[in-house]
Amino acid sequence: AQSVSQHNHHVILSEAASLELGCNYSYGGTVNLFWYVQYPGQHLQLLLKYFSGDPLVKGIKGFEAEFIKSKFSFNLRKPSVQWSDTAEYFCAVNAQGVQNTGFQKLVFGTGTRLLVSP
Amino acid sequence: DVKVTQSSRYLVKRTGEKVFLECVQDMDHENMFWYRQDPGLGLRLIYFSYDVKMKEKGDIPEGYSVSREKKERFSLILESASTNQTSMYLCASSGTSRGYTFGSGTRLTVV
């Protein structure tokens, strides 16, 4: 079965520090990759997504992610974090669902809680 | 903007009760999903539906069922609520663009 691994469960940074959150997936076929963010008390929001093309994807709020196919990775980065980036971050990958429909379901990692201290 | 609306933000139910969680989307999306979110476990797929009256089990369907009588509505049913079903439940929908939109969640407590 497809799976997504997020290696860091909790990350604590000071403001202006650089951020990199790891994400690896296990799936041998073509993938669509996503990073979602959940701010305290809010619903999941899409940060960025990769479907095809340039493997370096830029998202909202200064985030970017790089798809490295040979490493099955899609790490999230931000050069300088802010206190407002405190949130939980989820990596997700499309996985094949029902046979013959082309339908794809989203499989999530366990999430990384980021705390940015002012 | 696509909107996914979950009928309740917070629910408290007793063990053994039958519980209905409702989700409505307004963008004519074919695909709808129910996930539960638990600390340290991320989001786990309970059931999904790719068409009206069609449903497929996700990774943790035990103790749950779903109903999709209309395209815009996808209901999650806890046949007999148990304390281990205390969780945050998230509904999502997606269309052909393969993007997913999530509702704001229902925090269910079973006592």
| CATH number of the domain that residue A25 is part of | 2.60.40.10
Chain B nearest-CA residue for A51: B98
- Specify whether the CB–CB gap between B71 and A77 falls below 8 A: no
A7 CA to centre of own chain: 12
Residue B15: CB atoms within 10 Å? 11
Q: Is A49 on the interface with B (CB under 8 A)?
A: yes
Dihedrals φ, ψ of A9, to 5°? -85, -35
Per-run averaged pLDDT (10 residues), chain B, 111 residues: 86 97 93 93 92 90 96 96 97 79 94 97
Segments making up each domain of chain B, as ranges: 4-110
Can you name the residues that pair with B49 across neighbouring β-strands? B32
| Chain B hits for A36, Cβ within 8 Å | 102
Name the token pair of B20: 């209905």
pLDDT bin (cut points 50, 70, 90) of residue A67 is very high
Dmax over Cα atoms in chain A, in whole Å?
Answer: 51
State whether B42 and A111 contact (CB < 8 Å).
yes
Reported confidence tier of residue A100, pLDDT bands at 50, 70, 90 = very low
| Chain B partners within 8 Å of A49 (Cβ) | 99
CB-CB neighbors (< 8 A) of A21 in chain B = none
3-state secondary structure of B83: helix
Q: Which domain holds residue A33?
A: 3-117
pLDDT at A7: 87
C-alpha span between A66 and A104 (Å, rounded): 22
Specify whether the backbone of A69 is left (phi greater than 0), alpha (psi in -120 to 50) or beta: alpha
Residue A51: its chain B contacts at CB < 8 A? Answer: 98
pLDDT over 90 percentage in chain A: 68
Give pLDDT tens digits for A4-55: 999 889 999 999 999 999 999 988 777 889 999 999 888 889 999 998 899 9
State the total domains in chain A. 1
Please give the single-letter amino acid code of residue A29.
G
| CB-based contact B42 A110, cutoff 8 Å | yes
Residue B93 tokens, joined: 């929908």
Q: Which residues of B are less than 8 Å from A102 in CB distance?
A: none
The residues pairing with B63 across neighbouring beta strands, listed in sequence order, are none
DSSP string, A31-96: --EEEEEE-TTS--EEEEEE-SS-SEEE-GGG-EEEEEGGGTEEEEEESS--GGG-EEEEEEEEEE
> Nearest C-alpha of chain A: how many angstroms from B102?
6
A2 band by pLDDT with thresholds 50, 70 and 90: confident
Say yes or no: A99 contacts chain B, CB-CB below 8 A.
Answer: no
Q: How many CB atoms lie within 10 A of CB B28?
A: 10
**Which residue in chain B has the smallest CA separation from A88?**
B42
Q: How far is B105 from chain A (nearest CA, A)?
A: 7
Q: Please name the CATH architecture into which domain B4-110 falls.
A: Sandwich (2.60)
Per-residue confidence (pLDDT) for residue A98, from 0 to 100? 46
Interface probe for A, chosen from B5, B6, B34, B50 (most Cβ of A below 10 Å), is B50
Query: Does A10 touch chain B if contact means CB atoms closer than 8 Å?
Result: no
SS3 B15: coil
